[in-house]
Amino acid sequence: MTTISSQEASSLDREIFRRRTFAIISHPDAGKTTLTEKLLLYGGAIHLAGSIKARKAARYATSDWMEIERQRGISVTSSALAFDFEDHTLNILDTPGHKDFSEDTFRTLEAVDSVVMLLDGAKGIEPQTLKLFEVARMRSLPILTFINKVDREGVDPFNLLSDIERTLDIAALPFDWPIGSGSGFRGVWDLRKQEAHLYESVDHGGEKASERILQADSPEIGGILDSLPDRSAFQDEIALLSHEGTSFDTKGFLAGRVTPVFFGSALNNFGIEIFLRTFLEMAPPPRAYQSDKGPVPPDSPHFSGFVFKIQANMDPQHRDRFAFIRVCSGRFLREMSVTNASTGKTLRLSKTIQFLGQKRERVEEAWPGDIIGLHDPGVFRIGDTLCEKGVFHFEGIPSFSPELFARVILEDPLKRKHLKKGLDQLSEEGAIQVFQLDPQGERDLIVGAVGALQLEVLKFRLEHEYNVKARLDPVGYDRARWLTGNTEQIQALSGTLDTLLVYDHETKPVALFRNEWALRYVVEKYPAIGFHGTSPRAFHEGRG
Ligand code: G4P
């Protein structure tokens, strides 16, 4: 055990203060890949944008299975990216979208300190953004909003602000305002500093856009404003919004009740730098995490962290898994010995990886807010706490309600043991959840997933890794609620139409519903039952 010197303590503080760990939440096609790439470009981690997109494009030109494999591959390599911008280190965590939208996408938000909500300016709030927003809100994460694609026609900034406020019930306060839109989009007006940021597009945004900043009283401003379709309307808007902006509620922002809004075009690099700089100023550094022994602040001198994602390699020849850890406190050093609080076992952490820009590297040292990948010979589970000193458990990561459910039908009923082993291991990775019709697990098993790809992957892996051929028959339920409260009433649910009573892996009762209507009916009829969209958040108990 090492004791930390005062010099090391001050470097710990400095490293914590420098870090920003966040995720971008958006609906597919809003421009998350493009924005991520542009952030890397501005951070100097890449020199010419276009490479991440090229990889992404390649993944669509494949057969079904290859697509799954590639998507999993891509998810591994982009689980978390670290890069520096001036004095800061940023960690961007990927929230997989498209077909690989899964519980991982939700769980990623357990490991970040803030969120960037990215919207397509022509579309506003879309379903996947809404789902992720709800998870961010549950965690009270601070949210900054970037409205993308302002270079497209038909973007109405005021409508977008009211869409955010109405749909998400969060106050939306613009920090900058588009100067022109569509093909006439020139730049953004910084509402705090009262200056115009004007850009020239550069060859499809492969390099930083050249930017000119003009103060409000600059003689050139007149010409810029005259080029707008309605100069006086723009000036009225600026006057109105500048007034509103004087009372920004920082506390409300940190608690996720107010979101600052920025406009731009990720493709053309318009509005990126002003957004990035304000993000660094506003987004909080690594926070304290709750444990069963009280809050663990990031500057506590000993390393601790938790597993928020487990990624298995799809290649059956190499069954290696990686566990992704969020560092919560202290300094991580490769080769250090830690206790896995869930098993009580001591582990030496030597096989470590981190993704820096586009490079995959061995991690020698990491600080609170950083994400490290650990080679996992099957010893980790989602939610495990690793401690350098003492033994404590961080709050458990809840399970989120799946949206697709299927009954598992074995082709060979004698393979039930294999099936259970396979399902246990695959649910530990967190891609699927397993429910049983009876607490003892003797009757049929039902699997649930958030995305369709997970069920395809499940079937494939059962067959290829566990030698179990199974059919997955869809059952027509689309949401689950964990139940608490009156046991008699909970039992009575089993006779209700359009509702199925099942048990999760900890034999906690869960009800599956066919639709929103069925859920509402039951909620009204059984007031003594508590209905929860996620499994109760608990401290992980030890496992042998
Ligand atoms: P995603 O990761 O959120 O799914 O979105 P992605 O970045 O892949 O962007 C989706 C599409 O939107 C891409 O077009 C991308 O070029 C475009 N896009 C991103 N930002 C902007 C923007 O600020 N303005 C405009 N006009 N378009 C933007 P694509 O045609 O699907 O791909 P590509 O041919 O451009 O590569």
Q: The domain containing residue 363 runs over which residues?
A: 289-387
Neighbours of 53 (CB within 10 A): 12
Instruction: Judge if the beta carbon of residue 151 lies within 6 A of ligand 1.
Output: yes
Evaluate whether residue 496 is within a structural domain. Answer: yes
pLDDT on residue 77: 43
Task: Note whether 162 and 227 are same-domain residues.
Answer: yes
Same domain, yes or no: 111 and 216: yes
Judge if 215 and 171 occupy the same domain: yes
Please say which residue of 249, 265, 282 terminates a domain. Answer: 282
Work out which ligand 1 atom sits closest to the CA atom of 148.
23
**Residue ranges in the chain modelled with pLDDT below 70:** 1-4, 9, 45-78, 97-100, 202-207, 244-246, 313-320, 355-360, 538-544
User: Are 103 and 147 members of one domain?
Assistant: yes
Pocket test for ligand 1, best of 29, 60, 119, 123 (most atoms within 8 A of CB): 29
With respect to residue 278, please indicate whether it lies within any of the assigned structural domains: yes
Distance from Cα 208 to the centre of ligand 1, integer Å: 17
Together in a domain, 37 and 62: yes
Residues 25 and 130 in one domain: yes
In a domain, 9, yes or no: no
Same domain, 447 and 323: no
Q: Which of 252, 282, 312 is the last residue of a domain?
A: 282
Q: What is the pLDDT of residue 203?
A: 61
**CATH number of residue 121's parent domain:** 3.40.50.300
Are residues 278 and 306 located together in one domain of the fold? no
Over residues 217-276, the pLDDT tens digits come to 888 888 888 888 888 899 999 998 887 666 789 999 999 999 999 999 999 999 999 999
Helices (H), 321-390: none
pLDDT of residue 68: 41
The verdict on 219 and 77 lying in the same domain is yes
Number of domains present in the structure of the chain: 3
Ligand 1 nearest atom to the CA of residue 36, by list position: 7
* Helix H or strand E segment including 453: helix 452-466
Q: What is the model's pLDDT at position 200?
A: 83
Nearest CA to ligand 1 atom 7: 31
The CATH number linked to 471 is 3.30.70.3280
Q: How far is the CA of 30 from the centre of ligand 1 (A)?
A: 7
Domain for residue 11, yes or no? no
Identify which of 434, 508, 448, 437 has the alpha carbon closest to the alpha carbon of residue 476. Answer: 448
Burial 1-18 (b: 16+ CB within 10 A, else e): eeeeeeeeeeebeebbeb
Final residue in a domain of this structure, among 353, 387, 421: 387
Output phi, psi for 300, to 5 deg. Answer: -65, 140
CATH number at residue 364: 2.40.30.10
pLDDT in tens, 114-134: 999 999 999 999 998 998 999
Q: Take atom 16 of ligand 1 and give the residue whose Cα is closest.
A: 267
